[in-house]
Structure formats: structure tokens, C-alpha cells
């Protein structure tokens, strides 16, 4: 009754949590998908470490894990950095707060654009590798290309969170 005496444009609406139950569930689904992709990449890095340092024989040789563009110490450092950044993304999605859950619209557009370019570049790399070195693709190029798909899919999945729900206005 008290509210009826206050003009409608002055009524106080309770502030809703930024994350409704359905939005929270959606974010948790994205967190799960991102975590699976990160786990796959971590397995790749672990497999490569086992091959290079422990000389395990049940995994493909070092040449199958690397394209040769970067010396292994630089590649490993880059992979550890990627794991740290992607881990932060996963933690932010799991907690429901943090830099990667509340990106600005321009940051989302850049993130999405980078993911799309990365994904297309990976497809082109696969096509070129298949056409110019068809016999080598399964022995020297398949593992790196596969995991570039994993990494680009991670970026596109994170950006996909903004394509619907509360964050749709970012696009």
C-alpha cells in the first residue's frame, strides 16, 4: 500500500543480482565446457613434457608434438602462459565474477574476432598442410593443429557466453 502512494517512476525496485538462476546455470555450463577444453590442452602439454623430458615410448615422438616454429623452451613457456590465462578465465566463470565474466563490449568484440581469425587460420593451416604434405599430416602436423583447434574453440566458447543472456548487448 505504501508503494501505491509513490509515483510509478519513483518506486524503488529491489536490485537484482546480476546473475539470475538461469544466467548462473548458463555461466556454469560455459565454465564446464571451458574447463574441459583447458584440461585437454593441459593433457597435450603434459604429453609433450613426458616425451621431451622423460623420453616415454608410448607417445608419439617430439617431432609430432611441435611444428618447429618455436624452440621447445619458448613453446613450453608460451603453453604455460596460455594455461595460466585460460585457467583464470575458467576460475572467473566458475566464481561468476572477475575480468573475464564482465568484459566490456569492445573487449568482447576483440576476443570474438581474435577467436574467429584463429579458428579460420587453423583450418587454413590444416588445408595447406594436407595439400602440400599429405603424407606427413598424421605424423608431424596433426597434434599441433588439433590443439590449435582446442585453443581457438576455447576463445570462441568464452566469447559465446556474451552472445546470449544478460550480455547479449555486447554484440
- Kindly report, residue by residue over 69-106, the tens digit of the pLDDT: 788 899 999 999 999 999 999 999 999 888 888 888 88
CB atoms near residue 160 (< 10 Å): 14
Contact present, 65 and 49 (Cβ < 8 Å): no
- Quick check: 75 and 66 in contact, CB under 8 A? yes
Domains of the chain by residue range = 19-170
pLDDT number for residue 3: 53
User: CB 44: neighbour CB atoms within 10 A?
Assistant: 18
* pLDDT tens digit sequence for 135-165: 665 555 678 888 999 999 999 999 988 876 5
pTM of this structure: 0.78
Amino acid at each position: 500500500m505504501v508503494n501505491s502512494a509513490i509515483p510509478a517512476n519513483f518506486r524503488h525496485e529491489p536490485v537484482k543480482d546480476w546473475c539470475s538462476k538461469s544466467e548462473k546455470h548458463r555461466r556454469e555450463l560455459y565454465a564446464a565446457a571451458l574447463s574441459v577444453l583447458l584440461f585437454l590442452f593441459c593433457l597435450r602439454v603434459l604429453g609433450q613434457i613426458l616425451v621431451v623430458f622423460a623420453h616415454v615410448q608410448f607417445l608419439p615422438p617430439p617431432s609430432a608434438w611441435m611444428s618447429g616454429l618455436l624452440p621447445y623452451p619458448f613453446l613450453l613457456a608460451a603453453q604455460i602462459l596460455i594455461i595460466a590465462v585460460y585457467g583464470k578465465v575458467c576460475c572467473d566463470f566458475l566464481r561468476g565474477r572477475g575480468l573475464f565474466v564482465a568484459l566490456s563490449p569492445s573487449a568482447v568484440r576483440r576476443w570474438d574476432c581474435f577467436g574467429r581469425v584463429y579458428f579460420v587460420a587453423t583450418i587454413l593451416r590444416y588445408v595447406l598442410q594436407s595439400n602440400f604434405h599429405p603424407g606427413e599430416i598424421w605424423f608431424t602436423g596433426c597434434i599441433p593443429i588439433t590443439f590449435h583447434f582446442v585453443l581457438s574453440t576455447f576463445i570462441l566458447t568464452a566469447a559465446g557466453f556474451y552472445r546470449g543472456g544478460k550480455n547479449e548487448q555486447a554484440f
